[in-house]
Amino acid sequence: MQWALHDPDHGAYGSGRLQVGPRGDFATSPSLGPDFAALLALQIAQWLEAQPPQAPLALVETGPGEGQLALQLAEALSQGWPALAARTELVLVEPNAGMAARQRQLLEHAPLPCCWCSFEQLAAEPVAGVMLAHEVLDALAVERIVWDGALWRHQRVALHGEPGAEPLLRLQAGEPLPPEALAPLEPLGLLQPGSQRPPGWTTELHPGLEPWLQRAGRSLASGQLLVVDYAHEAWRYYAPQRSNGTLMAYRQQRASDDPLLEPGHWDLTAHLCVETLVAAAETAGWSQLGQRSQGESLLALGLAQRLHGLQQQDSAQLPQLLSRREALLRLVDPGALGAFRWMAFSRGLAAPDPCLFLQDPPLA
Ligand SMILES: C[S@@+](CC[C@H](N)C(=O)[O-])C[C@H]1O[C@@H](n2cnc3c(N)ncnc32)[C@H](O)[C@@H]1O
């Protein structure tokens, strides 16, 4: 997964081949239009405003994809909160040169100063502000494991084929997990007596999360981290009936559960497990603020009022208004983007944390 996504020449992100958006390989919330960022900006502004006055601020976006969310947030902040925007730098953390090149182009005339840094560069001078991880942690390489009826084994990718023929890739059970590698399965409910799964039952673990959260934590002296991603609680993620985990491949708006299709041409993504994320974050020094579905979060930030506001606008703009209306409804659709999880964490803050999206939306 690491190679297929991040190899600088052949990886789907590393080469810059994958395109995010409704006309690209897959759509994300910000790729549907600027309303998502306009609503999220309210939460970001509230968090930034809680930092000591006059101090320089950073809005760090990890994994910015095409750079749309970063640009839209810069525009929303500079229009709605100009004093705050004047103190804020946009910091983009993008390990893939191919993606960073497109982000630089899009953000060339952004209304906030922008810089591209690695976590390691930031750690030399940690910033204060807000860090976003929107659809990023689902791209960290997962570890697949398979129950063979007696033991938990790693699942491996093997080359297979007759001599002289084009070799094929296939998934196969590998060596058993050593005793120390079984410990993370305990809190996921996979080791309790009677919790045995049928032979061939496969799932994934997330060993990349804690190191990522440690590196992210060293980059942010004080502020909040907002993770937005597909996520399930452990009881759902590791339910007996979910017999093949959540690993999926996406290309040109098509989805497949075969992660070995044309490696380097498909996005590979796995859901997050809420408990695993929270435990990894706490080990890495983050405090959990709370979590909500995207639908609830956006309603708490004023999505219903924004939808209502569209009806008051000039009907000469009807096609744009209708497409914004459709995008807003997609963002909260519980069968689609509305089911995404917003999970907030903080570090280095003395005062209680203001978190708008965890408050109940006002009654209509
Ligand atoms: C699915 S795209 C998300 C794009 C954007 N955030 C959006 O929602 O439209 C994933 C992005 O994360 C980047 N990425 C992948 N692994 C990463 C990592 N370990 N740290 C930071 N960014 C990463 C990819 O190169 C890509 O830009």
Q: pLDDT value at position 165?
A: 87
Q: Please tell me if the CB atom of residue 67 comes closer than 6 angstroms to any atom of ligand 1.
A: no
Would you say residue 364 lies in a domain?
A: no
| 81 and 152 together in one domain | no
Question: Strands (DSSP E) along 104-183, which ranges?
Answer: 114-116, 127-134, 143-147, 152-160, 168-176
Same structural domain for residues 215 and 329?
yes
| Residue whose CA lies nearest to ligand 1 atom number 19 | 140
Report the nearest atom of ligand 1 relative to the CA of 132: 6
Q: How far is the CA of 82 from the centre of ligand 1 (A)?
A: 28
188 and 136, same structural domain? no
Q: Is 31 in the pocket of ligand 1 (CB under 6 A)?
A: yes
* One domain, residues 161 and 251: no
State the residue range of the domain holding 339. Answer: 2-141+206-358
State whether the beta carbon of 96 lies less than 6 angstroms from ligand 1. yes
d(CA 337, ligand 1 centre) in Å = 17
In this structure, the answer to whether residues 132 and 147 fall within a common structural domain is no
When the pLDDT of each residue in the chain is averaged and rounded to a whole number, the result is: 94
Structural domains counted in the chain? 2
Do residues 321 and 189 share a domain? Answer: no
Asked if the model's pLDDT at residue 352 lies above 80, the reply is no
Query: What pLDDT is attached to residue 316?
Result: 79
**Residue ID of nearest Cα to ligand 1 atom 17:** 63
Ligand 1 site, residue 135, Cβ cutoff 6 A: yes
Question: What pLDDT is attached to residue 364?
Answer: 56
Predicted pLDDT at 236 = 96
Q: Which pLDDT tens digit goes with each residue over 290-333?
A: 999 999 999 999 999 999 999 888 877 888 899 999 999 999 99
Last residue of a domain, one of 203, 219, 240: 203
CB count within 10 Å of CB 160 equals: 10
Q: To test the ligand 1 pocket, which listed residue (2, 18, 136, 215) has its Cβ within 8 A of the most ligand atoms?
A: 136
Pocket of ligand 1 contains residue 219 by CB under 6 Å: no
Whether residue 337 lies inside any domain: the answer is: yes
Please work out whether the CB of residue 93 comes within 6 Å of at least one atom of ligand 1.
Answer: yes
Does residue 360 carry a pLDDT above 90? no
Asked if 211 and 121 sit in the same domain, the reply is yes
Q: Which of 161, 177, 203 is the last residue of a domain?
A: 203
Token pair listed for 364: 């209509």
Q: Which of 179, 203, 227 is at the close of a domain?
A: 203
Q: What mean pLDDT do residues 56-70 have?
A: 97
On whether both 342 and 238 belong to a single domain, the answer is yes
Residues 127 and 245 in one domain: yes
Reference 328, options 36, 95, 81; nearest CA is 36
Tens digits of residue pLDDT in 254-283: 999 999 999 999 999 999 999 999 999 999
Same domain for 92 and 158, yes or no, is no
52 CA from centroid of ligand 1 (Å): 30
Whether residue 333 sits in one domain with residue 224: yes
Q: Which stretches does DSSP call E strand in 34-151?
A: 57-62, 88-93, 114-116, 127-134, 143-147
Query: What is the model's pTM?
Result: 0.95
Please indicate, yes or no, if residue 363 is contained in any of the structural domains.
Answer: no
